[in-house]
Amino acid sequence: VCVCVCVCVCGFKRKLAHSEKSRDELSRKMETLKKRLENRRSIKPVSKDQIVALNQKIEEKDHELIRLKTEYARDLEHQQQELKLSRDLYQEQVQLYKADRKAMQKKFVDVMTSLKN
């Protein structure tokens, strides 16, 4: 009987502690909500002029965004063209190097042949 009472008391204490914790949590949430309500009262209505001004700013930002996207696309295209030109130039240099190498090898063979004769 003593063990059962102890278990029940311990269980009750745990439930009590949990409910107190929940109550404290609810109290904090209630205070937060009260503060939010108090802050809402201080919000001032927005005038039509302010709305027009904000819409104008949004429109300006939209135009700026379009301009920046266009510039980015143009820059990207230029970068790709430069990359292609760079590759083409590299290929030309490789071809010139190969041609020079063949010419030098031919000259070497000619010199060696003339030395044998």
The model's pLDDT over 43-66, given as tens digits with 9 standing for 90+, comes to: 677 788 998 999 999 999 999 999
Number of domains in the chain: 2
Q: Both 24 and 77 in a single domain?
A: no
Q: Both 4 and 25 in a single domain?
A: yes
Q: Both 36 and 57 in a single domain?
A: no
Q: Both 97 and 73 in a single domain?
A: yes
pTM of the model: 0.43
**d(C-alpha 65, C-alpha 94), whole Å:** 43
**d(C-alpha 62, C-alpha 69), whole Å:** 11
pLDDT tens, 90-115? Answer: 999 999 999 999 999 999 999 999 98
Length of the chain: 117
Determine the structural domain holding residue 94 and report its residue range.
Answer: 47-117
- For the four alpha carbons of 28, 34, 40 and 41, in that order, the dihedral sign comes to negative
